[in-house]
Structure 1
């Protein structure tokens, strides 16, 4: 059994940026290959999924209040949730999927996690920007608060990143946790408000759902996009507390998980 070495002290941030950059390119090549079709599919997959979901709701014939465009409402609700689900599902496997790389003392578990999750985040951001561009060209819809909208996407990514680290470190100790990840992310969809506004629900249901920090993020995103045509319900302090808590817990978990890994696993 060959023990995995730890990274030696070096020029901290610069070294980590170099390592994460190299791992990011490796993730891109591993997942999509060297052909241009692979990189086209990188954007096409979430773009098609978001478009199909929004089209299904548009064809249902149910209008949204205050003239909200159905396509943008559902596409910009589903795509950030798709990012959250992808980061949690794929990011949590970064630990077991990159054990061989940890033989290099410049690479840490955190590096592999950041590289994989950064790729998922950039894909989502690009697709969301494409949806907004379509909204501007077709519907004449401009984001109400563009900076706040991007901040909401970042918060969703950071929340998912922290959760992925927690789950990834737990999988090192309890392998059965891996089988719960996909059901968990699918069960999160109906209680995270990607397809509906909290203001449409009874007071008791609103209070219950707002315990989920993703609900606040989706509510913030909708207000940042559509402005006063929606009545938002969110608590940014609560969301930031979840983000900080999960990321601190996740980094501590990765630190504890590393000594348990070996190249024979």
Structure 2
């Protein structure tokens, strides 16, 4: 008598894609950090050193933040969310051209590659934010004013970066030199995204121009969520949602248009 060989139960397309994204996520994790702990240590050390350096310069200048805001936490919580956006936008955009060989597998799509890489960047940077918040709680007793809204701000920053990454990644397929513009573009965004200053301190005409940038709204919301009424926030959640929805729709349309132009010979 021949025993029946157990067979895997059929799964839904959604479950299959989740398995694909999970496998791609682990591949991205190993590709970026390898099996050494040095990569993970540097990942945490870079933003910590930058926050320390800016805080030290601020302290040496003899100036103080209004309402006794903690200097290290203020600059750290401003830089890390922007670092997440920049990492998602720049590294995610490169996911298309650097993983063309994976498209040989019919179950892998461009969107899968984007999602896997950008989830990794999001989780890494959210871990850094959690460390900054925990450090503030343990050292100076600084508790987030609105933790739920802080998490929402970080998610919106990640989604904004994801949409931009899809759009830039698809543009690289049509216009090759776009790849060289991604990093300069994300660095140019830093001074006009208010990661290191409050919009309230800007002149009214400058403030109006800055508020065209959705990242400014997110940074302002994050600061209020962290420090509460010690700052005067300027943000519009609806405006940010329009940008997130628009960039992600354009990005997905771009990936759909780019896919037929890719070939294994690229």
- After TM superposition, the score normalised by the length of structure 1 is 0.93
Instruction: Tell me whether 1:258 sits opposite 2:256 in the alignment.
Output: no
Task: Work out the CA distance in 2 between the residues paired with 1:60 and 1:153.
Answer: 31
- How far did 1:245 drift? 0.3
Task: Work out the CA distance in 1 between the residues paired with 2:246 and 2:143.
Answer: 34
- How far did 1:211 drift? 0.3
- How far did 1:204 drift? 1.0
- Matched-pair contact (CA < 8 Å) for 1:163–1:250: yes
- Matched-pair contact (CA < 8 Å) for 1:43–1:126: no
- How far did 1:139 drift? 1.2
- The one of the two structures with greater contact order (alpha-carbon pairs below 8 A, sep at least 6) is 1
1:92-171 correspondence to structure 2 within 5 Å: 92-171=93-172
Q: Which runs of 5+ in 2 are unaligned?
A: 1-10
Q: Deviations over 1:41-61 (max 9, x none)?
A: 333333333443344334333
**35-44 or 98-107, which moves further after superposition?**
35-44
- How far did 1:128 drift? 0.7
Match of 2:63 in 1: 62
Match of 1:77 in 2: 78
Larger Rg: 2
- After TM superposition, the score normalised by the length of structure 2 is 0.93
- Matched-pair contact (CA < 8 Å) for 1:46–1:124: no
The runs of at least 4 consecutive aligned structure 1 residues that moved more than 6 Å come to none
Task: Work out the CA distance in 2 between the residues paired with 1:43 and 1:158.
Answer: 22
SS at match of 1:190: coil
SS at match of 2:144: coil
Residues matched between the structures, number: 256
Task: Work out the CA distance in 2 between the residues paired with 1:60 and 1:107.
Answer: 53
The 1:51/1:87 distance shift into structure 2, 3 A limit, reads farther
Instruction: Tell me whether 1:44 sits opposite 2:51 in the alignment.
Output: no
Q: Which runs of 5+ in 1 are unaligned?
A: 1-9
Task: Work out the CA distance in 2 between the residues paired with 1:174 and 1:219.
Answer: 34
Match of 1:88 in 2: 89
**11-20 or 50-59, which moves further after superposition?**
50-59
Match of 1:16 in 2: 17
Q: Deviations over 1:15-41 (max 9, x none)?
A: 221111111110111111112333333
Task: Work out the CA distance in 2 between the residues paired with 1:60 and 1:30.
Answer: 42
**199-208 or 52-61, which moves further after superposition?**
52-61
SS at match of 1:144: coil
The 1:17/1:54 distance shift into structure 2, 3 A limit, reads farther
